[in-house]
Amino acid sequence: MKTLGLIGGMSWESTAEYYRLLNELTRDRLGGLHSARLVLHSVDFAEIEQLQAAGRWEEAGTVLAGAARSLEAAGAELLLLCTNTMHKVAGHVEAAVSVPLLHLADATADAVRAAGLRRVGLLGTAFTMEQDFYRGRLASGGLDVLVPDAESRALVHRVIYEELCVGAVREQSRAEYRRVIEDLVAAGAEGIVLGCTEIELLVRPQDSPVPVFPTARLHAEAAVAAALADH
């Protein structure tokens, strides 16, 4: 099995899910006491969030590029950036190393197409919902992407940073997310992309009238498949 390199900590709540998923999926594939071969570089999310808020993406990219180099030096053969939003600087990461980066949006688009769907609603941080680095990547994968209205985008973003990133999972927020999902479905969404790894802590399949696509799980599934491709 190839050694996976995880750039995590954004937030650690979802990185912990990545660790669990990668090990469970490896065990399911190989059986017995098998677990994933991986190394983790976990950053201080407070520092990254400050760079996000200030629009200092080049600096954030430099930080994550350094993390990628440390993972390659530690033996990582395939990298995962364990966050949707910071795929805005995926190019910095890719340019810093010689090992491949498994892009989260590509894994997601593959899963949506495999389900026979094309038009999806996207939930995530304001950066992910409003900027083109992620929506455009999904569109280049053949998807038609819908996002909530401005008020709902602000709600989704607030819940991520003020609640989910600090481990708070609230029923009121789940109900509000359900309303946002229903609005997207009414607008024509055939599925919902949970385009922030923390959202999977809140939104369950039963919270949506259409299929949901949990990006952290899809990313982990694609990573284990790639790591075991030659097994």
Q: What is the pLDDT of residues 122-153, one digit of tens each?
A: 999 999 999 999 999 999 999 999 999 999 99
Q: Is pLDDT at 170 greater than 80 in this prediction?
A: yes
Q: How do 144-146 and 191-194 pair as beta strands? A: unpaired
Give the pLDDT confidence score for residue 27 in this predicted structure: 97
Q: Is pLDDT at 35 greater than 70 in this prediction?
A: yes
Average pLDDT, the chain: 96
| Alpha helices (H) in 1-149, listed in sequence order | 12-30, 45-53, 57-73, 90-96, 104-114, 126-130, 132-140
Q: Is pLDDT at 226 greater than 70 in this prediction?
A: yes
Q: Is pLDDT at 230 greater than 90 in this prediction?
A: no
Domain range list for the chain? 4-103+218-227, 105-214
Query: In CATH, what number does 4-103+218-227 get?
Result: 3.40.50.1860
Among 83, 125, 197, 215, the active-site one is: 83
Q: State the average pLDDT over residues 47-66.
A: 96
Q: Is pLDDT at 81 greater than 90 in this prediction?
A: yes
Among 15, 26, 165, 196, the active-site one is: 196
Q: Is pLDDT at 34 greater than 90 in this prediction?
A: yes
Active site residue 196: yes
CA–centroid distance for 59 within its chain: 21
Residue 34: burial class (beta carbons within 10 Å; 0-12, 13-18, 19+): middle
Asked, colleague to colleague, whether 4-103+218-227 and 105-214 share their fold, the answer is yes
Give the pLDDT confidence score for residue 108 in this predicted structure: 96
Q: State the average pLDDT over residues 18-35.
A: 97
Tell me the pTM. Answer: 0.94
Residue 122 in contact with residue 104, Cβ under 8 Å? no
Give the pLDDT confidence score for residue 48 in this predicted structure: 96
Instruction: Name the region of 167 (left: φ>0; alpha: ψ -120 to 50; beta: rest).
Output: left
Q: State the average pLDDT over residues 200-215.
A: 96
φ, ψ dihedrals at 124, nearest 5°:
180, -165
By residue count, the chain amounts to 231
- 105-214 carries CATH number 3.40.50.1860: yes
Q: Is pLDDT at 37 greater than 70 in this prediction?
A: yes
Active site residue 108: no
